[in-house]
């Protein structure tokens, strides 16, 4: 078994930190009992451990392949995708009206981690399909929803997001794909889209492309972009497939990682125009796409956690098995498994603490998302929504950046073997590097965090978050326990660093926008670090409480120690970022462009 | 041109910081005038920019290949190697008695950076040959030196280091390859060596393998290991090649990076025993090998600087060309080249500051190495030697770790294009990951730093270093300049963090060895960061002085700003490491092994 889904840790976080225990009392969430959650996670773990995880390496050595407009998925992926969708996993959190299970995002988020850890390339196909479903749920007509969503949930069709063009990546205002209105109310699309994940493949009968394009005469910039459905095969009135649409895959990319996930260049309209159907209203496409993108950003953050945990598990196995050198404390007279060496343990604990901290951050945010939609109290709903929105750039930005560190440590623990591809550690390192880039680079997340999430409300939400952290510090201090107290002090120091930076951001955003944005990514890292460390501190409290109820297990011991380690080794990084942000922009802004 | 050798920066550091201006006055260094250094660096730059750099990508897509015991190098490598050795580069710092140029390490170090930046895979072949030459110079007999060194300097033969076996990597006490004495004074070798860089290839007529093995009856552990010459082809009395020796390449590895460098599994003695010749005395092999390894560790640190600089140059080019989004300060009404965006500049400045800081650290250490050998004053020689030895683990450990950060940022600056292999940024990211592993992992360097370099002398050398840093702070403060003063304050904070950690290491090494070694890598990072930042501060002083003499150039402006950026953004990281080291080991040591 190369992957063990962290069912116990996910359930612990869901119940103790993310509000799973209350959720089933909310209207529409009646099915989301702790028992159901456990059953769902266990079943999800089984499928991913047994069926999907073994295909991860296969996908690296036999990537999806392209020939004459056709893409063939990695051998085994078709069958795995059939099992995945037959098990109902594609519809897990989508409405039952369209064939979904209607479970909350909290349960879905945990399951998403498992499939991404099992096989990131594979998991991208359902992740993009989820995004297409969300966009249609938000803005599609009833007829569009009824036509397109059920087959996607069944896995007969899949979905894609078509945003990027060669000249338009982070900057979607530069999109040029054009849409010409037709007499029958449809449009004809013309243009080239690149970096289209699972944009062409042979795992499903049809592919529902959601495409950003400009209607002739639309305003310049982002306010002139509309969203279109452009299916690979046109759909007839009875739902059966009709003619092949004029959208062609002209190539797929040769990438450093996630090689099994085909990244397509799609050509629309070379044969007279690809038939597209407007979603919602003209010129509001970006707004709709943002709904989808926010879900996808959360999803990519979870990918970071997933890849990190897989890398951690692999490194732990190796550290138990590999025998090399005597322990420095003289406790053994012979060479020992390397997990006995302090630096190997430091690396493993760093990997573990970062993964667990980010998992807790993501699941708590997912719980807040559910509360924002279903909690009976309007004030809780509003606060939960504000909290969730603050979290999205942290989950996307921080969890993916931490996955780079964790997968790098994963290779390092293996020594020279880590650099040999067959060992498997290198794949995680290569796969992870896309996560800080797609669905908005870390800088794009940081812009969102600074502009929309921090400065716009004068730092109110950021300070509300800090107040919650301070409340946890008070709980820790009240425990009168050495470990809890130590964590409280580390947390307080990190919170003060956070607040100093928030004050700087809010105060200087108008007068020194360049200095503020020069600090945006360090601010994102600082905030993500604080929130993940805060959740670990909450986990320590919950684990100590459970242990005091007599639930003494290795799991609880490890949770407390991992929280302490996070506080000791990871939280203190905030000081460096604070120093860099506050007063650290001058030199970088003064540098003449030609001097670089 | 995909690579521009940083001739100006190297010469600036060599003259202003590393003592090049004095060196030609020392006995044996008469040729090392600043003029000669400049001419050598310019010629080296030309060869590497024009001939060797263009083969870097070729090597990634057409790696060295293995068939039936033969390894074929990447197309173009043979010819490039002929040009490299014909130019005298292999012998640059080796004694003229054996055909070398006899130039100091300072000049050689700069040249080594250029060839490694041009093509890391290619550069490994001369790097290993250098190691073999150094080992023979240290411990070989006069006959061995005369026989083997000149052909290696001429490039007709190359050299290798055969240490690692499947069960013996970081822990060489586990070496099992055995050597049986023969009546004629030679030995027969039997065993398997792995991870042998350029262990087999078709770029030279012969390969001089230096092999660690145990003579029958030798003591257990590292004190029973001897060093042998085991040439691929036996050498006849007249120096011509004789019979093929019984050493066979049985496979090469499939690696994540440096794919053009063949990493061989070598089988010794399957056909009755490989003929080996003892180097020096029996059972002193590891001691000799350490001479070679120290040179190689310095060389690998330089590889980190090299790959980082290449990644930086690529990212700068892309950032000037790629147009995306309007600047946040509203200074342009249209999408701008991304170098206008503050976060892109932050990334580029981070890459630049780390690369320049580590280059300065390495060249200053190289200058100290030369002073240790050739300075007329015995006290200076002794102090320089102690300084150099303290630097080696920092150069190897910190420069390679920083290369991971820099190459990751290099991909990030490219956005989605960075993940596409053809862009080239991904190759640097993949190549760099071996640098923190081979020639001793970062943890092995950190053990050396803690044990042999810090604790053994009670922190004396570490404190002497801190005193030198403090002297630079005083110079900065005396300048009465805002930038210099700001750098002085950052430097003082980092130095205090360093001293606190040194005190902890020295005080606790006996009572809490596990806690001390749990902090060894963070200590290495802290110390490397301090030293690189200190050299940048010295560079600021030198650049300001040069500017005040009227030498006003973009180069001097950029140097001052890069030093300020290092101080503002990179130096403050020391606090996080200090906190992690001092009092941060408890949780990681308390974690039960079965709970990982």
Which residue among B49, B439, B480, B594 is the active-site one? B439
Tell me the pLDDT of chain B averaged across its residues. 97
A319 CB neighbours in chain B (<8 A) are 596
B576 CB neighbours in chain A (<8 A) are 572-576
Nearest to B342 by CA among A502, A44, A581: A581
How close, in Å, is residue B4 to chain A by CA atoms? 13
Are the beta carbons of A346 and B521 separated by less than 8 Å?
Answer: yes
In chain A, which segments carry CATH 2.40.110.20?
A: 65-71+140-148+155-283
Query: For this structure, is A439 an active site residue?
Result: yes
d(CA B463, CA A376): 63
pLDDT one-digit tens code per residue, A340-366: 999 999 999 999 999 999 999 999 999
Nearest to B438 by CA among B256, B573, B581, B283: B256
How close, in Å, is residue B380 to chain A by CA atoms? 34
The residues in B 432-451 lying below 8 A from A, measured between CB atoms, are: 433-434, 436-438, 441-443, 446-447
At B270, give phi and psi (nearest 5°). -70, -20
Are the beta carbons of A580 and B568 separated by less than 8 Å?
Answer: yes
pLDDT one-digit tens code per residue, B477-522: 999 999 999 999 999 999 999 999 999 999 999 999 999 999 999 9
Mean pLDDT for A533-538 is: 98
Which residue among A49, A113, A439, A473 is the active-site one? A439
Are the beta carbons of B341 and A195 separated by less than 8 Å?
Answer: no
Residue of B nearest to A408 (CA): B433
Are the beta carbons of A342 and B514 separated by less than 8 Å?
Answer: yes
pLDDT one-digit tens code per residue, B517-540: 999 999 999 999 999 999 999 999
A276: which DSSP letter?
Answer: E
Decide if A434 contacts B270 (C-beta within 8 A): no
**Which region among A217-221, A309-313, B501-505, B552-556 has the lowest average model confidence (pLDDT)?**
B552-556
Are the beta carbons of A437 and B419 separated by less than 8 Å?
Answer: yes
CB atoms within 10 A of CB B588: 28
A442 CB neighbours in chain B (<8 A) are 412
Q: Is A65 on the interface with B (CB under 8 A)?
A: no
pLDDT one-digit tens code per residue, B337-368: 999 999 999 999 999 999 999 999 999 999 99
Are the beta carbons of A346 and B518 separated by less than 8 Å?
Answer: yes
ipTM, two decimals? 0.97
Give the closest of A254, A575, A583 to B575, CB-based. A575
CB atoms within 10 A of CB B417: 21
d(CA A231, CA A152): 12
Q: How confident is the model at residue A291 (pLDDT cuts 50, 70, 90)?
A: confident
Task: State yes or no: pLDDT of B113 exceeds 80.
Answer: yes
**B378-413 helix and B342-374 helix, angle to the nearest 10 degrees:** 160
Mean pLDDT for A295-300 is: 95
Q: Is B565 on the interface with A (CB under 8 A)?
A: yes
Q: How many CB pairs under 8 A join A and B?
A: 278
Q: How confident is the model at residue A552 (pLDDT cuts 50, 70, 90)?
A: confident
The residues in B 189-248 lying below 8 A from A, measured between CB atoms, are: 195
Tell me chain B's radius of gyration from C-alpha atoms. 24
Which helix (DSSP H) or strand (DSSP E) does residue A157 occupy? strand A157-162
CB atoms within 10 A of CB A57: 16
A524 CB neighbours in chain B (<8 A) are none
DSSP per-residue codes, B570-581: IGGGHHHHHHHH
Are the beta carbons of A596 and B339 separated by less than 8 Å?
Answer: yes
The predicted pLDDT at position A398 comes to 98
Decide if B294 contacts B405 (C-beta within 8 A): no
Q: How confident is the model at residue A293 (pLDDT cuts 50, 70, 90)?
A: confident
Mean pLDDT for B62-77 is: 97
Nearest to B539 by CA among B468, B494, B484, B477: B484
Q: Is B504 on the interface with A (CB under 8 A)?
A: no
The predicted pLDDT at position A325 comes to 95
How close, in Å, is residue B562 to chain A by CA atoms? 7
Q: How confident is the model at residue A301 (pLDDT cuts 50, 70, 90)?
A: very high
Decide if B77 contacts B262 (C-beta within 8 A): no
Range list of H helices, B73-207: 77-86, 105-118, 120-139, 142-154
Exposed / middle / buried, residue B119 (Cβ in 10 Å: 0-12, 13-18, 19+): buried
Residue of A nearest to B168 (CA): A324
Q: How confident is the model at residue B545 (pLDDT cuts 50, 70, 90)?
A: very high
The predicted pLDDT at position A583 comes to 86
Mean pLDDT for B547-567 is: 94
pLDDT one-digit tens code per residue, B134-174: 999 999 999 999 999 999 999 999 999 999 999 999 999 99
CATH of domain A65-71+140-148+155-283: 2.40.110.20
Decide if B444 contacts A412 (C-beta within 8 A): no
| Assigned token pair, A477 | 């201090």
Mean pLDDT for A560-578 is: 98
The predicted pLDDT at position A551 comes to 80
Are the beta carbons of B592 and A562 separated by less than 8 Å?
Answer: no
pLDDT one-digit tens code per residue, A260-290: 999 999 999 999 999 999 999 999 999 998 8
Task: State yes or no: pLDDT of B565 exceeds 80.
Answer: yes
DSSP per-residue codes, A182-229: -TTS-EEEEEEEEEEET-S-SSSSEEEEEEEEEETTPPSGGGG-EEEE
Q: Is B517 on the interface with A (CB under 8 A)?
A: yes
Task: State yes or no: pLDDT of B552 exceeds 80.
Answer: no
| Assigned token pair, A529 | 């670090």
pLDDT one-digit tens code per residue, B290-324: 888 888 999 999 999 999 999 999 999 999 999 99
**A120-139 helix and A142-154 helix, angle to the nearest 10 degrees:** 160
CB atoms within 10 A of CB B249: 21
B558 CB neighbours in chain A (<8 A) are 591-592, 595-596
Q: Is B321 on the interface with A (CB under 8 A)?
A: no
Task: State yes or no: pLDDT of A92 exceeds 80.
Answer: yes
The residues in A 390-429 lying below 8 A from B, measured between CB atoms, are: 404, 408, 411-412, 415-416, 418-422, 426, 429
Residue of B nearest to A553 (CA): B595
Q: How confident is the model at residue B225 (pLDDT cuts 50, 70, 90)?
A: very high
CA A271 to chain centre: 37
Task: Report how many helices (DSSP H) and strands (DSSP E) chain A contains, helices first.
Answer: 20, 12
B342 CB neighbours in chain A (<8 A) are 514-515, 517-518, 520, 585, 588-589
CA A458 to chain centre: 27
Chain A interface mutation, best of B256, B321, B552, B562, highest count of A Cβ atoms under 10 Å: B256
The residues in A 574-593 lying below 8 A from B, measured between CB atoms, are: 574-576, 578-580, 583-593
Mean pLDDT for A237-263 is: 98
Chain B interface mutation, best of A4, A331, A343, A558, highest count of B Cβ atoms under 10 Å: A343
Give the closest of B257, B422, B568 to A584, CB-based. B568
B505: which DSSP letter?
Answer: H
A452: which DSSP letter?
Answer: I
Instruction: Indicate the class that CATH gives domain B54-87+119-283.
Output: mainly beta
Q: Is B430 on the interface with A (CB under 8 A)?
A: yes
Q: Which residue would you say has higher pLDDT here, B272 or B583? A: B272
Q: Is B494 on the interface with A (CB under 8 A)?
A: no
Chain B interface mutation, best of A518, A588, A595, highest count of B Cβ atoms under 10 Å: A588
Are the beta carbons of A595 and B418 separated by less than 8 Å?
Answer: no
d(CA A497, CA A491): 10
Mean pLDDT for B246-256 is: 98
Mean pLDDT for B23-27 is: 96
d(CA A362, CA A394): 9
Q: How confident is the model at residue A509 (pLDDT cuts 50, 70, 90)?
A: very high
pLDDT one-digit tens code per residue, A419-466: 999 999 999 999 999 999 999 999 999 999 999 999 999 999 999 999
Mean pLDDT for B217-237 is: 96
Are the beta carbons of B335 and A174 separated by less than 8 Å?
Answer: yes
DSSP per-residue codes, B328-385: TTS--SS--BGGGSHHHHHHHHHHHHHHHHHHHHHHHHHHHHHHHHH-S-HHHHHHHH
Q: How confident is the model at residue A2 (pLDDT cuts 50, 70, 90)?
A: confident
């Amino acid at each position: 078994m190369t992957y063990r889904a962290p069912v116990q840790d996910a359930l612990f976080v869901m119940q103790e930190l993310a509000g799973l225990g209350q959720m089933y009392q909310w209207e529409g969430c009646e099915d989301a009992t702790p028992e159901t959650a456990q059953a769902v996670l266990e079943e999800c773990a089984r499928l991913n451990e047994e069926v999907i995880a073994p295909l991860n390496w296969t996908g690296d050595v036999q990537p999806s392949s392209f020939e004459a407009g056709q893409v063939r998925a990695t051998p085994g992926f078709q069958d795995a995708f059939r099992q995945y969708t037959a098990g109902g996993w594609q519809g897990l959190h989508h409405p039952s009206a369209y064939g979904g299970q209607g479970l909350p995002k909290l349960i879905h988020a945990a399951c998403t981690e498992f499939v991404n850890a099992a096989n990131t390339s594979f998991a991208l196909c359902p992740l993009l399909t989820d995004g297409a479903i969300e966009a249609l749920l938000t803005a599609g007509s009833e007829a569009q929803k009824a036509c397109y969503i059920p087959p996607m949930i069944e896995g007969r069709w899949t979905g894609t997001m078509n945003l990027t063009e060669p000249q338009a990546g982070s900057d979607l205002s530069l999109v040029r794909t054009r849409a010409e209105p037709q007499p029958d109310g449809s449009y004809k699309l013309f243009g080239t889209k690149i970096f289209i994940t699972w944009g062409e493949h042979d795992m499903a009968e049809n592919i529902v492309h959601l495409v950003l394009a400009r209607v002739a005469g639309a305003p310049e910039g982002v306010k002139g972009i509309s969203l279109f459905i452009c299916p690979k095969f046109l759909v007839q009135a009875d739902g059966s497939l009709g003619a092949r649409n004029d959208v062609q895959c002209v190539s797929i990319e040769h990438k450093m990682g996630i090689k099994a996930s085909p990244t397509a260049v799609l050509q629309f309209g070379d044969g007279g125009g690809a038939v597209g159907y407007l979603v919602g209203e003209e010129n509001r496409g970006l707004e709709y796409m943002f709904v989808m993108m926010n879900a996808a950003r959360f999803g990519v953050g979870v990918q970071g956690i997933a890849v990190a945990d897989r890398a951690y598990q692999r490194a732990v196995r190796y550290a138990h098995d590999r025998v090399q050198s005597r322990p420095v404390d003289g406790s053994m007279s012979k060479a020992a498994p390397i997990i006995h060496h302090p630096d190997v343990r430091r690396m493993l604990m760093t990997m573990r603490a970062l993964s667990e901290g980010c998992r807790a951050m993501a699941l708590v945010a997912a719980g807040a998302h559910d509360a924002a939609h279903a909690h009976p109290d309007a004030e809780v709903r509003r606060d939960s929504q504000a909290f969730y929105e603050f979290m999205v750039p942290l989950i996307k930005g921080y969890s993916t950046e931490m996955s780079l560190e964790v997968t790098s440590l994963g290779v390092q623990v293996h020594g020279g073997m880590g650099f040999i591809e067959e060992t498997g550690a290198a794949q995680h390192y290569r796969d992870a590097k896309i996560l800080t880039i797609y669905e908005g680079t870390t800088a794009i997340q940081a812009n969102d965090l600074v502009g929309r999430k921090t400065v716009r409300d004068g730092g109110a939400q950021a300070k509300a978050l800090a107040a919650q952290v301070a409340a946890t510090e008070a709980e820790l201090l009240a425990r009168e326990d050495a470990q809890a107290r130590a964590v409280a002090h580390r947390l307080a120091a990190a919170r003060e660093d956070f607040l100093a930076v928030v004050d700087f951001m809010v105060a200087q955003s108008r007068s020194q926008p360049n200095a503020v944005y020069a600090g945006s990514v360090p601010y994102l890292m600082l905030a993500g670090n604080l929130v993940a460390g805060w959740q670990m501190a909450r986990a320590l409290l919950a684990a100590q409480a459970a242990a005091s109820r007599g639930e003494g297990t290795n799991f609880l011991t490890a949770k407390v120690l991992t929280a302490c380690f996070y506080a000791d080794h990871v939280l203190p990084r905030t000081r460096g970022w604070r120093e860099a942000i506050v007063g650290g922009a001058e030199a970088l802004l003064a540098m003449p462009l030609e001097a670089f």
